[in-house]
Each structure stands twice: as structure tokens, then as C-alpha cells.
Amino acid sequence: MSDLSIYDRQGIGKPLGFGRKCALLIIDFQIGFTREDAFGGFNINSAITATGKLLGHVRPLGMPIAHACFIAPEAPGGIGPFGEKIPSLLTLTAGSPDVAFAPEVAPLPNEFIVRKQHASAFFGTALSSWLRANAVDTLLVTGCTTSGCVRASVIDASAHGLRPIIVEECVGDRAEEPHRANLFDMGKKYADVMPLDAVIAHLALADAA
């Protein structure tokens, strides 16, 4: 373990806190990511379960909910270099069983679907515009993988001027070390990392106010 105290000495990693209005973003909880022999592993399935619990709390509040899913095009060129690094992504075309949403966190009609072809749920999608049309300034982030699409989406959320709050038990990865390392990076630079219970308690309190 290297000495990470330099972050504190440089004043990096202050808390953001909640803004005026939250939305929930769920990233890539698709069947392929539930399977360790495909794209899954480590704590992804427990993160899906935890996200199902969070969904149960936010749906009654009328919070805007967005579900991102990765779908590769079949056209030549596909997803470019991303598909050369991870060739199996090219199997995730529309209609393949692995692209379906995991049932515990599947979208209801009237929830926003974000079809994406790259890691970030913001890149090449209308997510940012839709969040602004809903006056959202704070984004609860869940999904997988922590070191992949979650990290990319959190960087973009911050760059777009949104406050990202990562719900800790609700993000998962295929291996523990990248999961931990990326929670560290994101918590220092772009987002707050909060336990599920604290998020639920905050929302209940805000809703009662």
C-alpha cells in the first residue's frame, strides 16, 4: 500500500453532499454481467440485490430513474477500439439473452432507458439532456462494473455538472481489487461514496420534510 496521505495534504476528496433533486442511475445490470463465465464475478450479484432494495425505496418517491444498458451494433466498425480490447462485448447485440436487464432491477414502463455503446452512460446518449429536462442535479449511481462503466459514468456525471453519489453496496465488479481502487479514486475526485442505509435514511428524511 503506497502512502495515500498526500490526498489529504493536498485537500483532495471533500464531500459533495446532496443537491436539490436526485435521480437514480442503474448501469449495465444485464444478464451477461450476472454470469461469471461471461462478464460477471466478485460482488455484482449482491450489488443487483442491493439495488433492488434501493429501487423499492425510490420508486414510491417518484424519483426519475434511468437504466443504462450496453448494446453493441452489428454494423461493421462496431464499437471501435473498445471491442478490440474486449471482443466478447461484440456478442452483446440487440436480442441476445445477455443484454436483457436482470429481473430484480428491470425497468418499469416510463422509466428512462439509456442504450449505450461505450463505457459511460453519458457518452453518445441523451442521459444528460433528460436529467436537465427533469431539473436533476444529484445522481445516485449504481451498477457495474465499478472499474468500467460505473467509473466512466461518474467522471462524466461530474463533468456535466451533476453531483454523483455512489451507493456503495449497489456497485459491483468482477474482481475485488479494481472495485476497491476505483471506489477510492472516485471518492477522492468526482463523487461521494455512501452506504445504502445512509442514502435510504437521507431520502426518507428529505421526503418527510
Residues 84-113 that bind a second copy (CB under 8 A): 84-88, 109-113
Q: Where are the beta strands (DSSP E) in 28-137?
A: 65-70, 112-116
**Minimum distance from CB of 138 to a second copy (Å)?**
9
Burial of 164 (0-12, 13-18, 19+ CB in 10 A): buried
CB 125 within 8 A of CB 184: no
Decide if 48 contacts 168 (C-beta within 8 A). Answer: no
22 is catalytic: no
Provide the Cα torsion 158, 161, 167, 171; round to 10°.
Answer: -40
Q: Applying CB under 8 A, which part among 47-55, 96-104, 144-152, 193-201 lies near a second copy?
A: 144-152
CA distances from 204 to 26, 108, 209 (A): 20, 22, 9
> Could you say which of 130, 196, 200, 202 contacts a second copy (CB under 8 A)?
130
Sheet harboring 112-116: ordered strands across? 112-116, 65-70, 22-27, 138-144, 163-172, 192-194
Select the span of 8-16, 52-60, 95-103, 197-205 touching a second copy (CB under 8 A). Answer: 8-16
Residues 50-79 that bind a second copy (CB under 8 A): 64, 66, 73-79
The catalytically annotated residue of 22, 69, 144, 149 is 149
Residues 11-50 that bind a second copy (CB under 8 A): 11-14, 16, 20, 36-39, 41-42
Query: Which position among 49, 98, 184, 200 is part of the footprint of a second copy (CB under 8 A)?
Result: 184
Looking at 53-61, 95-103, 145-153, 197-205, which segment touches a second copy (CB under 8 A)? 145-153
32 or 52: whose CB is closer to a second copy?
A: 32
Paired residues of 127 in beta bridges: none
For residue 56, the minimal CB distance to a second copy (Å) is 19
Q: Least CB distance from residue 31 to a second copy, whole Å?
A: 15
1 forms part of the interface with a second copy (CB under 8 A): yes
Q: Map the footprint of a second copy across residues 154-183, applying CB under 8 A.
A: 155-156, 158-164, 174-178, 181-182
Q: Which residues are registered as beta bridge partners of 114?
A: 68
Please tell me the count of residues contacting a second copy according to CB under 8 A: 88
185 φ, ψ (degrees, to nearest 5):
-55, -50
- Residues annotated catalytic, as ranges: 149
